[in-house]
Structures are given as C-alpha cells and as structure tokens.
Amino acid sequence: MALFILGGVVVAVFFEVAHLAGATNALGNFDTTTGGEVEMFGAQALEGAGRNAMCRHEVRLPIRFVPATHTPCVRSLNEVNSVASRTPRSGAHRIAVIGGDGIGPEVIAEALKVVRAAGVELDTTFFDLGGARYLRDGEVLSDETLETLRGFDAILLGAVGTPGVPPGVIERGLLLKLRFSLDLYINQRPFAGTAPGHSKPHDFIVIRENTEGPYVGEGGVLRKGTAHEVATQGSVNSRHGVERCIRYAFELASKRERKHVTLVHKTNVLTFAGDLWQRTFDAVAAEYPKIATAYNHVDAACIYFVQDPHRYDVVVTDNLFGDILTDLGGAVSGGIGLASSANLNPARTGPSLFEPVHGSAPDIAGKGVANPVAAILSAALMLDHLGESKAADAIRAACAKPTSGSTIAVGDEICRRLHG
Ligand code: IPM
Ligand code: MN
C-alpha cells in the first residue's frame, strides 16, 4: 500500500488511473471488483513507466558534449527568466514553461534564448513542477495548476523524472496527465539525419498516438507479492482515437513531397488492436488515393529504421510502439540529443506541449554538458504551431550544422548563426 504512504498527490494519481481502469471491466478483461486482494489499480503502471524512464537515463551518452572551459556551463531558468521577462508586447505568445527535472531547465533556458534571438516575442510563465517539486511539497500537478495551464498558447517542457521519486509518479502524474487532460492526441517526432553506415540523409516523421494504448493505465494486480500474483496491463484502442491519429498522418503526408504513409503495428499477434488499426488505416487511405501506403510489423520496422530508413516518409503507430521506435529514430538520426517532439491538440481546444524526446538525464544535470539542440528544435516545432514558421525554419537551418561546447555555448552559437 505504498500509495497511501506517499500521500495525497499519489492518491490523486490512483483515482485518475482507477477511473480509466473502469474500462477494464467494460472490456471484459478481468474483474478486480470481486474477490481476491485488490491492490491498487495503477500501482503496476506506476512501477513500469518509471523503470522505463530510468533506463532512458542510462543511454544518454550521445547528448554529452565536451564543455567549454571557464565560462559558466549552466544558466538557471530563473536567471534566464529575469533576463527574458521584460514587459511583453501585446502580440507576444503566452508560453507556460516547465523546465522539469535534471537537464530539463538547462536545455529549456537555451531554447528560450534561441527563440528570442529568432525575433519571436514570448511572454513566459514558469511552473515549478517535476520530481524536485514533488519531493519538496508533494505537488505533482494539481487540478488548479492544470486549469491555469489551459489558458496558455503553448507549453514548453524540458524533461521529467527524478531518482528517489517512486517510478511513474511524475511520468504519469505530470506528463501523461497533461497529454490526456489536454487531449494532446498526436505526438509528432521528426527525424532528419544520416543513419550510421549510410551516406544519404533520411527525412521522416513518426506520428505516435498519444492518449491511448497501454499508456492509459488499464489493468490491475491480484494477490500481490504471492506466488499466485496476477498482473494485467491492457491496451485501449478506440475507433475514434485511432482514426483521428491516422487521419492526421494522412493530412501531414498530403503536404509532403513523397506522400507516403506507413502503418507500424503488430497485427500478426495483437489481433484485436491490430485489426482495428489496420481496418481504420485502410478506410482512411481510401479517402487519400494520391497517398501511397505500406505496412510494417514493429519488429521489422526496427530493422528498417537502421538498415533502410529512406523507405519512410510518415510513419503512424500506437502509443507504446511509437515511444520505443522514436528513441530508435533519434539514435539513427544524429543521436537522441537532437530529437524533438510536439504533443499536439490539432483541434486547438487547448495548448499543445513541446518537449525534447530525451529524458532528464540526472547523471549529467548541472554539468553544462547536455545538448540543448533537441529542446531548441522542439521550440521550433512550437513556433510552427504558433504560426511563426519563418522563425522556426531559421532555427532549424541554424541547427543544421553540428555544434559543440557547453550547453550555453551551443545555445550562443545557434543565436550567432541566426544573426549572421
Ligand atoms: C517520451 C517519454 C515518456 C513516454 C515517459 C517519460 C513517460 O519516454 O516522451 O517518450 O513514455 O511517453
Ligand atoms: Mn520515450
């Protein structure tokens, strides 16, 4: 019953997950309301998500840089804010900034600096959220803060996850709560680069469904800690959720040169969810006769991402496959330190959220060696969404050439390129 010990905020996480878990019974999986020792729904989900996030921290090497000598390597977000929050002009975009944990605040500080150097006015409000805040006073993301965030034009987030916080508390309670509550149903992750062993650059975009699949926390555990323990973790796929995601992928492809969409799933094993995805994909594809299509099983896609990434233009896939594939996408496109993402609410019923694909990398936090380019490119995606595509293109062009040095030195170099 660790959740009770952890206090009100975690109990709130439990309630959210328990609410979603109601779907379990409706779908006829297993009924946790009867008999047995019903351990909390969501406890397993918390553990799983966090462990995953920790693993991510261990593979952060590609985002290291050799720090420049002498100059301070890390500028605090507060310092940047005090420089940056001059009285905004009325046309300034209102941005909620969540630096988060580990290297998050460092890389976000550089992203804000670069956006301003590109001539875009931002009216920033900083939100102290993440693992450190949770350890201090138990706040993960209150409903009140969530309501405040709804009023912004966009949210820029660094990274979340802190050792010492029970796995998943921050991931589920902050990041996933934002994705679900703000209906950020598209996670768009562009990959442009030259994969190891290749000479020709690739350029593709993964569209990851962002509000369903195994991430909803459907499942439960019975007889925990006994030899007869049973744990389930379901994947929720709605026709509505799948169709709007696939439709987004086709719309995106129709604006791109190659006009090609690949569905990635595991239809040979996940025959219920896979069938829904495949039929929905086929139905939407029929409406876009000018767009060519393909299908790959996710295991095969892992090979192609490495051996033949040029075959892809737009890839559409479910939440968990998309999570895994996009780390691989980063690895074959210059490293995870360059991988950007947009969590989009295409209906624009609220703000969208922009964040680097990488994690909080606590092992290198505060050392000034984190690569800010993923955060800077995520800010460029934010500018696209805010109608500032010219500035976004300029930032992408400035990031195209390799950079080196400390976190701040890289940010400064990109600013110089923008001005030159
Ligand atoms: C990501 C991250 C998150 C995810 C974690 C931090 C919950 O890995 O954005 O890819 O799994 O979606
Ligand atoms: Mn991930």
Domain chopping of the chain, boundaries: 1-182+336-420, 195-211+235-332
Q: Known catalytic residue: 384?
A: no
Question: How many other CB atoms sit within 10 Å of the CB of residue 211?
Answer: 24
175 C-beta closer than 6 A to ligand 1: yes
Ligand 2 center to 90 CA (angstroms): 36
- Burial profile 14-50: b = 16 or more Cβ within 10 angstroms, e = fewer: bebbbebbeebeeeeebebeeebeebbbbbbbbbbbb
Q: Which of 95, 87, 133 is nearest to 111 (CA)?
A: 95
Cα separations in angstroms, 58 against 27, 63, 92, 360, 364: 37, 11, 38, 11, 11
Ligand 1 atom having least distance to the Cα of 319: 12
Instruction: Name the active-site residue from 275, 282, 299, 308.
Output: 299
Domain range 195-211+235-332, its CATH number among 2.60.40, 3.30.2420, 1.10.287, 3.40.50 = 3.40.50
Q: For residue 191, which phi and psi values (nearest 5 degrees)?
A: -130, 110
Of all protein residues, the one whose alpha carbon is nearest to atom 11 of ligand 1 is: 323
Contact status, residue 372 vs residue 358, Cβ threshold 8 Å: no
| Residue 143 annotated to the active site | no
The CATH number for 1-182+336-420, chosen from 3.90.800.10, 3.40.718.10, 3.30.70.260, 3.40.50.620, is: 3.40.718.10
Which numbered ligand comes closest to the C-alpha of 189?
Answer: 1
pTM: 0.82
Cα separation values, 16 from 52, 130, 197, 218, Å: 21, 18, 46, 11
pLDDT digit of tens for each residue in the chain (420 aa)? Answer: 333 333 333 223 222 332 332 222 222 232 222 222 222 223 232 233 333 332 232 222 233 332 332 333 444 444 444 434 444 456 899 999 999 999 999 999 999 999 999 999 999 999 999 999 999 999 999 999 999 999 999 999 999 999 999 999 999 999 999 999 999 999 999 999 999 999 999 999 999 999 999 999 999 999 999 999 999 999 999 999 999 999 999 999 999 999 999 999 999 999 999 999 999 999 999 999 999 999 999 999 999 999 999 999 999 999 999 999 999 999 999 999 999 999 999 999 999 999 999 999 999 999 999 999 999 999 999 999 999 999 999 999 999 999 999 999 999 999 999 998
For residue 327, give the ligand 1 atom closest to its CA: 10
The answer to whether residues 80 and 113 touch, using CB atoms and an 8 Å cutoff, is yes
Task: Indicate if 327 belongs to the active site.
Answer: yes
Ligand 1: which of 13, 55, 56 to mutate, most ligand atoms within 8 Å of CB?
56
| Structure-token pair, residue 277 | 């995805």
